[in-house]
Structure 1
Amino acid sequence: MLILLPPSEGKAPEGSGPPVGALSFPALDRPRKRVLNALIRASKRRDALGVLGLTPGLAGELAKNTALKTAPTLPAAELYTGVLYDNLGLATLEGEDRRRAEESVLIFSGLWGVVRIIDRIPPYRLSMSVNLPPLGGLAAFWRPQVTKALDAIPGLVVDLRSATYAGAWQPGERSVTVRVFRDGKVVSHMAKATRGEIARALLRQDATPETPDELAKLLTDLGYAIVLTPPPRPARQWTLDVNLT
């Protein structure tokens, strides 16, 4: 089973380890270097905030971007913060639960494409939604490389990404995209919290669901009110709606 997560805007302020080195999915190393170099150049431009879609209050993040090649790193499990990651609680997973997280959780990134929680990376600021000169839209840039790297990994895919990051890889009929509703409406804050809770619950189960139906039964047994919908057409994802009371 793979659990797909978005990154978070909130990140730890700094790392303490050596500069970024070998990462998971080495086939992505070449495109990673291209994005890294393009981000450094873009962060030095006079219009850098506009190019990167950042508010004036985040101007200080530009200096971090320009120093990424030598910046101290920390594990992705410690880098990303915010509601989803607070409820996932990677730091408190131990033993087999932690092993499952290291094996199953994939975090999508505008800069790195996709990483595992053990990968050491520095704090950065780059959304997948950015049109980064000269590479263009990052979701479209990453899609062929990430697809080639991940399509060969077997198993059910539980997709907890936001729409921005879902564009970088579409796993097809073996995947279930999870949506969260309250009173028929999407609630962003609670959706992030619930996705984090679901990811944690799945990592703490000894039994691993292998089909969308098995995933739906497991989450129902855990107390979630869900509706599972088959793909609207071949090669598309299943949809699992979680309805909060």
Structure 2
Amino acid sequence: MFIFVPPSETKAFPSDAAPADLGSLALPELAPTREALRDALVRLCRGPAAKAREALGLSEGQSGESEHNREIANAPAAPAADVYTGVLYDALDLPTLRQRGVILDHVLIFSGLWGVVRPGDRIPHYRCSAGVKLPGAGSVSTAWRKALRDPLAGHVGADLVVDLRSGAYAGLWTPGANAVTVRVLHEREVNGVVKRTVVSHFNKATKGRLARSLLESGQRPRKPEEFAELVRGFGYTVEQGPAGTRPNAPTALDIVVSEL
């Protein structure tokens, strides 16, 4: 079983550590793409500040992100588990799991700059989402859809994929039929009527806790139906989600929550 998670916009700043070794990250054959995108990002951020902010979707108040990107090749790096922060990662709490000896290598974090990394892979603080277009390199998403296609298929093989990604990151690589996608629905009563909606905070926190429960359990379900039963055993309400429209589409599951 592999667990796919998105990155986070908020990241810690490693200090007093060596820079990242791109060849040591997950799927080392991706190193040329990583280097090309990193170098394009550096060139962008060493150019006109307004142009860099626009390309990266930053406000003037976030100019420090662009400034940090300029030196990213030599910036201190730390395990991705320590770099990514925010709601999902607070709930998942990878550093604590690592300290307890839980195996984390089958967790893959998707990234606009690095493609995929494992929690133990050392990366620097950076800002480059999957929706960015880099001068001279083009669309980050397009680059990764091409680069990830065969290496990731070979790495995942026939194992079950639990896909907790959302947004642009879900489009970087598409799993086949032996996969589940998860949507979190917040159920509440409004004027006597039960309503279900997708709420970002519930979505991220629940996915983080779900991934943590999977890792703590030590279970490795092989099929979508086994995964669904395991998650029900964790106490979640699990229902069939919208059916996919393409052949061999993953199984869509809804997890319904009423409170965090």
- Using the size of structure 1 for normalisation, the TM-score is 0.95
Note the 1:137-176 alignment, pairs <5 A: 137-152=139-154, 153-154=156-157, 155-176=159-180
Q: Deviations over 1:193-245 (max 9, x none)?
A: 00000000000113211100000001111110111345443132211111112
Partner of 1:49: 53
Letter in 1 for 2:125: P
Q: Which has the larger radius of gyration?
A: 2
CA contact (8 A) 2:185 2:254 kept: yes
Cα deviation, residue 13, structure 1 = 2.2
CA–CA separation in structure 2 for the residues paired with 1:150 and 1:96:
28
CA contact (8 A) 2:13 2:124 kept: no
Note the 1:38-187 alignment, pairs <5 A: 38-46=40-48, 47-94=51-98, 98-99=102-103, 101=104, 103-152=105-154, 153-154=156-157, 155-183=159-187, 184-187=196-199
Partner of 2:191: none
**Secondary structure of 1:77's match?**
helix
Partner of 1:200: 212
Is residue 2:240 matched to residue 1:228? Answer: yes
Partner of 2:257: 244
Letter in 2 for 1:111: L
**Gapped regions of structure 1 (runs ≥ 5):** none
**Gapped regions of structure 2 (runs ≥ 5):** 188-195
**Secondary structure of 2:102's match?**
helix
Note the 1:17-28 alignment, pairs <5 A: 17-21=17-21, 22-28=24-30
CA–CA separation in structure 2 for the residues paired with 1:111 and 1:6:
12
**Secondary structure of 2:227's match?**
helix
Cα deviation, residue 15, structure 1 = 3.2
CA–CA separation in structure 2 for the residues paired with 1:113 and 1:216:
28
CA–CA separation in structure 2 for the residues paired with 1:55 and 1:9:
14
Q: Deviations over 1:168-197 (max 9, x none)?
A: 000121111111011321000110000000
CA–CA separation in structure 1 for the residues paired with 2:98 and 2:112:
29
**Secondary structure of 1:125's match?**
coil
Cα deviation, residue 71, structure 1 = 0.7
CA contact (8 A) 2:89 2:208 kept: yes
Q: How many residues align?
A: 243
- Using the size of structure 2 for normalisation, the TM-score is 0.89
**Secondary structure of 2:246's match?**
coil
Mean Cα displacement is larger for which, 174-183 or 11-20?
11-20
Cα deviation, residue 75, structure 1 = 0.5
Pairwise CA RMSD: 1.5
CA–CA separation in structure 1 for the residues paired with 2:141 and 2:205:
24
